[in-house]
Structure 1
């Protein structure tokens, strides 16, 4: 199977992100989207996360990748091999968590400037270079419906201090504003099936969805097994993945999440502040 090129790896190291276009076909992505919109367990375990203006983004988050279509997709060879090429370290690739982001038309909220490691640092992970986020666009991501915005190279700043804005953990805007003086702001527009790989310290945000079209995406976080956190209850993040063939998610009838999946519950003692 195809692997990332040396140029793609160099671009990731330089910019903190790369986009792989058409990593999944339009048919595969449409199938996953149809599963997601009709998935009763996803609906039952989705919660609203408010931005600073009170607008809401809906998401469902789980830890262990199962044998459902989402879980198989996050364990495919092409995803895991790409992650393995991009992460520092030599230990095995593990799945920290996945979340289905549901930014609905006109009501979907913004995300403040932040680094994913701004959250994960509080879970006790020591090495941000051994963590990565992978976002698969299930619908088109445009400027109008609130696509991701990134600051290339901002992952080299290291961890920036974060404080709460609404129910979100936002980066210190002094660092953001200084970064924007020397780096361009990039709008990450995606077609369904495109995949964005981005470093855990990359500064990113998104606007609210003011369009007539939903923006849905599946975002999975990965970690090296040697990067053992001291403040994290789930062991998924240090459990080596059982990799499956790229055809595995589509081999049998598509399936959604099971009732036994280990979803994050918004009001449980492990709060969203850690994610």
Structure 2
């Protein structure tokens, strides 16, 4: 791999804790361009999914698969992103982009995310190897305790996959195991600034509170898989297609397309929201 982005200590921290925070991963100018696009590109609004939490509050997200020639596509395909991800995935195979999503937690109404592992969702896509799956959250606005920043249980990725059931329209982890994890491991509030990036393992337990503040919390989350990681229940093809890497300067200087041509997820097509039977056996609320 050319030009590794992360130090050996950062890689070790990720393997021990299940996550690492990289301050200033994106510049102020990059964040400004992405946030402006998120607000102004009508495709984001038209393709946003509303997901209810247990209290009925809504979190909006827009999710797409193939990374394009829009500003978010350039971020997810950027050399700094792919080189960092490659260092953290448990494989030497090429890095593939599973999907990206714009998370939109509006002031006062943005809903909570219940305790879950990303692999709790992606297990239904029948991905084989959770160590070859990773999520990267880049903050577009400040994330604080007040506006519902991400909370993680440090080291909980070492539990392996926890059973998941439904919490509202979300998929939530078995609360007995969550409570055991909270007795055993450290709860961390990931308060981050615009441009900071949080890399986290697919089995890391995490959640976020509703946004009861006066300030929005927006972020872009890109999820990656190694090409060696097979998914037997996934109809998109992005997850097995090596990323076409672009230089970091593409985010600011390359001409960008609209997101209107992106292959957005429709709610009825999400395997994670379909009953498989075993969810009823899980205490998730």
Q: TM-score, normalised by structure 1?
A: 0.96
Q: Secondary structure at the match of 2:259?
A: coil
Q: Which residue does 1:146 correspond to in 2?
A: 148
Question: Are 2:67 and 2:97, in contact at CA under 8 Å, matched by a contact in 1?
Answer: yes
Question: Are 1:70 and 1:256, in contact at CA under 8 Å, matched by a contact in 2?
Answer: no
Equivalent in 164, 183, 186 of residue 184 of structure 1: 186
Q: Which residue does 2:61 correspond to in 1?
A: 59
Please give the alpha-carbon distance, in whole angstroms, between the structure 1 residues aligned to 2:76 and 2:160.
27
Q: Which residue does 2:250 correspond to in 1?
A: 248
Q: Which residue does 1:20 correspond to in 2?
A: 22
The question of 1:71 aligning with 2:70 is answered no
1:252 CA drift (Å)? 3.1
Please give the alpha-carbon distance, in whole angstroms, between the structure 1 residues aligned to 2:272 and 2:44.
17
1:3 CA drift (Å)? 1.6
Map 1:139-218 to 2 at 5 A: 139-218=141-220
Please give the alpha-carbon distance, in whole angstroms, between the structure 1 residues aligned to 2:160 and 2:8.
24
Q: Secondary structure at the match of 1:136?
A: strand
Please give the alpha-carbon distance, in whole angstroms, between the structure 1 residues aligned to 2:93 and 2:254.
31
1:271 CA drift (Å)? 4.8
1:155 CA drift (Å)? 0.1
Cα displacement string for residues 17-63 of structure 1 (whole angstroms, at most 9, x for unaligned residues)? 00000011112101110110111001100021000000000010000
Distance 1:111 1:168, change over 3 A: same
1:7 CA drift (Å)? 0.6
Cα displacement string for residues 183-203 of structure 1 (whole angstroms, at most 9, x for unaligned residues)? 111000110000000000000
- Structure 1's unaligned 5+ residue stretches are none
Distance 1:250 1:129, change over 3 A: same
Please give the alpha-carbon distance, in whole angstroms, between the structure 2 residues aligned to 1:42 and 1:271.
21
Q: Which residue does 1:266 correspond to in 2?
A: 267
Please give the alpha-carbon distance, in whole angstroms, between the structure 1 residues aligned to 2:105 and 2:271.
21
Please give the alpha-carbon distance, in whole angstroms, between the structure 1 residues aligned to 2:257 and 2:151.
32
Please give the alpha-carbon distance, in whole angstroms, between the structure 2 residues aligned to 1:194 and 1:2.
18
Q: Secondary structure at the match of 1:209?
A: coil
Please give the alpha-carbon distance, in whole angstroms, between the structure 2 residues aligned to 1:39 and 1:266.
20
Q: Which residue does 1:112 correspond to in 2?
A: 114
Please give the alpha-carbon distance, in whole angstroms, between the structure 2 residues aligned to 1:266 and 1:128.
24
Please give the alpha-carbon distance, in whole angstroms, between the structure 1 residues aligned to 2:247 and 2:170.
36
Q: Which residue does 2:9 correspond to in 1?
A: 7
1:253 CA drift (Å)? 4.5
1:266 CA drift (Å)? 1.5
When the two chains are superposed, the root-mean-square deviation of aligned CA atoms in Å is 1.2
1:272 CA drift (Å)? 5.0
Q: TM-score, normalised by structure 2?
A: 0.93
